[in-house]
Amino acid sequence: MELKIAPKLENKKVEALPDLEEVATGKLLDSIGVGLLNIKYKTSPEKDLLLDIYYPADRDKSKKLPVIFYTHGGGWAAGTKDNIQKGFIKDTFRQLVNKGFAVVSVSYRLTKLKTVVMKDCVVDVMDAVRFISKNSETYGLDPNRVFVIGDSAGGQLAQMIVLADPSLFPGDPALLDYRYKVIAGVSWYGPSDFTEIELFETDDPTKNPDRFGPRIIGPNTDPSSKQTLYQEMSPVFYLTNESPPLYMMAADKDTTIPVAHAYHMKEKADEIGANVELFVVKNAGHNWRKAGGEIDPPLEVIVEKTIDFILQYKDDKQ
């Protein structure tokens, strides 16, 4: 099969996992692991969509690795897979690669394109997971040990991957038949419910609580379908007592995605006996920015808590 991957392998036929030492070039590889960059996982009407894979340098090539997907933030309108190279995000995934995971960072269509709505973002990231399932032998990844971590809008996408049935979000016909098993996921300050607008209310009068609505319904949507579409994009409605474990991490002074979303998901989980853990960072705003004092706990502890949550399920195949 023809794979658009790192430059040295472009236009070559790849029958098995390449020797990654051949493609470990470029500044993106220095801080996370050796990897394959700019792999095209699907073609959409708007653009080709790419992902990167990072591997441990000392991996055992005879075994498939558990894989963690990173779904970036940016309000469904900005950001790229390269967000993984920023600050605490980079540090988190570098440590997870060192713990024996492969990491896949995904770009998806953005709502700044007038033809794209939030559902397209969900479909794209699910297609990325299906693509890895389809090509698990080529890339040496285990589609039955899938994890996901996302921040902000990527937190909502991570929750959707963990909780929602992927058959409800079909995308590329060539990927539809490929299955995967999600083991656990982490949402950093991601929204859980768009149907309850009060969850977005803050003390900031400049922020419309329904400001993300146009990214859900699109410019040509029948207004009468608004509530249905809001529910479709709300991870909390897919939560069951058999859902994979989910870690909701949130900031107590976040005015972009208020902490109420995390409490809301936890409350629903407790009602039905679902496995949702909650962790709230004090004196923190969006992106774990300081808000009113030193964040508590500090950033390195937030990273540690994230990694510990994933590690406890590393060998779990459910």
Percent of the chain past pLDDT 90, that is, above it, reads 81
Give the C-alpha separation, 183 to 243, whole Å: 9
Contact predicate 53/102, CB 8 Å: yes
pLDDT, averaged across the chain = 90
pLDDT in the model for residue 316: 74
**228-259 confidence digits (pLDDT tens):** 999 999 999 999 999 999 999 999 999 999 99
**139-191 confidence digits (pLDDT tens):** 999 999 999 999 999 999 999 999 999 999 999 999 999 999 999 999 999 99
Give the C-alpha separation, 70 to 154, whole Å: 8
Percent of the chain past pLDDT 70, that is, above it, reads 90
**34-80 confidence digits (pLDDT tens):** 889 999 999 999 999 999 999 998 888 889 999 999 999 999 999 99
pLDDT in the model for residue 33: 82
Q: Tell whether 278 is covered by a domain.
A: yes
Q: CB 274: neighbour CB atoms within 10 A? A: 19
pLDDT in the model for residue 31: 67
Strand positions, DSSP E, 232-316: 246-251, 276-281
Q: Tell whether 3 is covered by a domain.
A: no
Q: Which of 14-18, 107-111, 276-280 is least confident? A: 14-18
Q: Tell whether 8 is covered by a domain.
A: no
Average pLDDT over residues 88-107: 97
Number of residues that make up the chain: 318
Q: Tell whether 123 is covered by a domain.
A: yes
Q: Tell whether 10 is covered by a domain.
A: no
What CATH number has the domain bearing residue 150?
3.40.50.1820
What pTM did the predictor assign? 0.90
Q: Tell whether 1 is covered by a domain.
A: no
Q: Tell whether 4 is covered by a domain.
A: no
pLDDT in the model for residue 84: 96
Q: Tell whether 5 is covered by a domain.
A: no
Whether the pLDDT of residue 25 is over 60: the answer is no
Whether the pLDDT of residue 6 is over 60: the answer is no
User: Which long-range contacts does 299-306 make (Cβ < 8 Å, 24+ apart)?
Assistant: 299/88, 302/88, 302/249, 303/88, 303/91, 303/92, 303/95, 305/249, 305/279, 306/92, 306/149, 306/186, 306/188, 306/247, 306/249
Q: Which domain holds residue 164?
A: 17-311
What total of structural domains would you count in the chain? 1
